[in-house]
Structure 1
């Protein structure tokens, strides 16, 4: 990425508006470093340990399920990311082109809620990590330190986030490699390769977890590719995002699995990482803490853009300033800190359960978004209409997209297997949440049929002279 010139502001000056072609910059490889570094963190490592501790898979079957799940889910995040250079606008604003100006508000609301939920969970996790490294620091102070650090990064914005993750790719990638080397260079338990085995429920649950993990990033992937030159095409951003997102998460999940198998059965995940990596453990904990803070900036950045998108829906001529983004970031920071400081001991697990349940609403959105962009409109959108008060050619509401969206949610409910709701058919494969698969299978053809039918009717009306 080119160096920042004297004219370039330290703090990003664009929010939800279109990024002009003259201001585009960067390389596709920046997407690799962003998504690779972002996914080397405690949460994916802890989740990877679950493959052995909860789903009872052995090393071989566990690694196979991890790789397959993320490779499948990575297609969604990569296709979403590749839209950024063509559109030049944030992902949630682009949804107006599918759902209509006001129809997109519900999806924007859910996206903001998910961002804020992850932000709160991560500042609690960052606070606990700081206390684990420096026990003398009180928990409230630790939470505030983690929150303020992430907010500072999120306020500065796009360039700084990419810069941090370019550095993080080398630092975190090297640290994880060193951790693998340390574990395999020392004596391993006798049951390292034989602990666990194959069970269909655990294997499918692991695959599903990988798919859902990747889809959860899709509402804000093009936020970090929209500054790339428009002539960069689709293929290069797709490959860079796909490789970064899948390699980063596969390595982190695999590290958690290996650490769990390298320590006595039942050892808590992060304790297992410390025990399995010896003297390297404290260094990894510090690096993981820094990466939590860096990654959490993405959640705050996405939340702010979503809230601005919601407000701008009702004020089409409003272009928010840097000051507005700083104020919104501060308000979100204060509200999230109040929630985090009053959090219970099992807050993270409870909140993650809520967020994973909300992911039910992302599957049909991702289906509609990708089908519309790549098959129906083939990347051709009227950007001016997206920002018009009446929605321009996309209108205020697109009933075809809204109907397909809600049906996509409803068909998932009987198969949902979350901490908040368990559907009547959730245990067709015990322990595996396959609702996402049902959502994809139903929403994709349904929306395609509705959208192409609408397009055909408009074409016939034009030919017959029934429209202006």
Structure 2
């Protein structure tokens, strides 16, 4: 299967604004020009954003002090990053986007089930981000929602169209912008340059923040879900690494980059939530900047949004891969740059339309906590099944050309083992669902109520889905698959996936 880039391989960022030629296809060895050293900074920037600070608002909203918010958020981020980092090792090993590899577990068409869940995550992140910016810029500068949408999505869309190499370049530029910016914000917090928000007249006296188990678990789950949500992204941006990239070093680079910046931003967000009672992150950052120097607040907001554009582009890029994979599962697609561009435009119009609808409805970000938790529920069974298959069942051994065969592929149209394990895990989670909007109960399952409304659904889903898939695969004919793989390695050695795990 050849894309335009394979016919004319010039899409590696060396010739100006060259548009990436690949989308959901295999990356051949001679185009694997990325370096391991780029992965840590790339994923550091992915979490080094104002949106990550809003994850720190969860703790104070459910009774946690900023200290306990930092501890719970850091532990949650680290837990979620473990799964994210291990998914990252699949990129150089297979040279494939993450969701194409999921066809091995769920089938050529069955993967659509998890594609819907991941598309919900990719699009959802950008929708929430757009609403955040629409609300903040309206409050600060009286910008209309369409002005914000155009200012943000046009450059991000261009970046997503240019593709992989330019994404990496702009993430590097974003780091240079955001590191001094958030360094100043953090210094202002640590040095006490920002005073607590004055109490509101005639408002009831709020209980002092401290520690509660429910709050601790809620903040932990929010942090974990945030980085588990990156799991479907990671190999999309590591698949251009050479096949012989050291897996342990890659896992460590992704883990350190994503967890360090995530913990940092959650800590700042927790402080802003407790001391400034912040609910609008851009307004809060403007206040922090203005407390340091006149007009610095405006500069802080402007740089915050500019540095965030590559993250918006990353969500568009991965949503595009997911959308193309979904269509390709039922109608074969030649993954040309033209297909990529149309898929990107479709994703962008969808995201902007939904964001405008949420903004005008007035519900805004009251759904943030709900979104983070529900996102975790949908992704947990998939990540458990995918990692169990990769590390414990097939151990990295896959017939790569068969991922692109609509018929007569060894993984079938519907991967019953993966689909059943996903559904078993998801159903097992439902009695443990614990969904709150701040302190207001949205849905708490019966078993969750028995343990004090502590959210353990994600842990149940991980264990049940992973174990169910492993047991279902005990009858899998791996010897038959291995014969097919060895034949491919003899006839098309460039498709080999290495020696497995």
Indicate how the Cα distance of structure 1 residues 430 and 154 shifts in structure 2: closer, same or farther if over 3 A, else same: farther
Does residue 64 of the first structure (1) align with residue 81 of the second (2)? no
**Number of the residue aligned with 2:250:** 237
Indicate how the Cα distance of structure 1 residues 284 and 190 shifts in structure 2: closer, same or farther if over 3 A, else same: closer
Q: What is the rounded CA distance, in whole Å, between the counterparts of 1:297 and 1:402 in structure 2?
A: 30
**Would the aligned equivalents of 1:81 and 1:221 in 2 still touch at CA under 8 Å?**
yes
Does residue 364 of the first structure (1) align with residue 381 of the second (2)? yes
**Number of the residue aligned with 1:178:** 184
**Number of the residue aligned with 2:341:** 326
Does residue 45 of the first structure (1) align with residue 64 of the second (2)? no
Structure 2, unaligned stretches of length 5 or more? 1-10, 198-206, 437-441, 482-501
Q: How does 1:128-277 map to 2 (within 5 A)?
A: 128-132=135-139, 134-135=141-142, 137-186=143-192, 196-263=209-276, 265=277, 269-277=281-289
Does residue 425 of the first structure (1) align with residue 447 of the second (2)? yes
Count of residues in Structure 1 that have an aligned counterpart in Structure 2: 451
Q: What is the rounded CA distance, in whole Å, between the counterparts of 2:163 and 2:278 in structure 1?
A: 41
**Would the aligned equivalents of 1:133 and 1:285 in 2 still touch at CA under 8 Å?**
no
Indicate how the Cα distance of structure 1 residues 361 and 39 shifts in structure 2: closer, same or farther if over 3 A, else same: same
Task: Say which of 307, 321, 326 aligns to 1:305.
Answer: 321
Greater CA drift, 180-189 or 90-99: 180-189
Q: What is the rounded CA distance, in whole Å, between the counterparts of 1:22 and 1:266 in structure 2?
A: 50
Cα deviation for residue 337 of structure 1 reads: 2.6
Cα deviation for residue 20 of structure 1 reads: 0.6
Does residue 342 of the first structure (1) align with residue 351 of the second (2)? no
- Using the size of structure 1 for normalisation, the TM-score is 0.89
Indicate how the Cα distance of structure 1 residues 352 and 313 shifts in structure 2: closer, same or farther if over 3 A, else same: farther
**Would the aligned equivalents of 1:128 and 1:142 in 2 still touch at CA under 8 Å?**
no
CA RMSD, 1 decimal: 2.7
**Number of the residue aligned with 1:18:** 26
Structure 1, unaligned stretches of length 5 or more? 460-468
Q: What is the rounded CA distance, in whole Å, between the counterparts of 1:38 and 1:287 in structure 2?
A: 15
Cα deviation for residue 408 of structure 1 reads: 0.5
**Would the aligned equivalents of 1:99 and 1:399 in 2 still touch at CA under 8 Å?**
yes
Cα deviation for residue 87 of structure 1 reads: 1.0
Q: What is the rounded CA distance, in whole Å, between the counterparts of 2:53 and 2:357 in structure 1?
A: 26
**Would the aligned equivalents of 1:40 and 1:249 in 2 still touch at CA under 8 Å?**
yes
**Would the aligned equivalents of 2:89 and 2:235 in 1 still touch at CA under 8 Å?**
yes
Indicate how the Cα distance of structure 1 residues 188 and 320 shifts in structure 2: closer, same or farther if over 3 A, else same: closer
Q: What is the rounded CA distance, in whole Å, between the counterparts of 1:60 and 1:351 in structure 2?
A: 21
Indicate how the Cα distance of structure 1 residues 272 and 391 shifts in structure 2: closer, same or farther if over 3 A, else same: farther
Q: What is the rounded CA distance, in whole Å, between the counterparts of 1:377 and 1:456 in structure 2?
A: 7
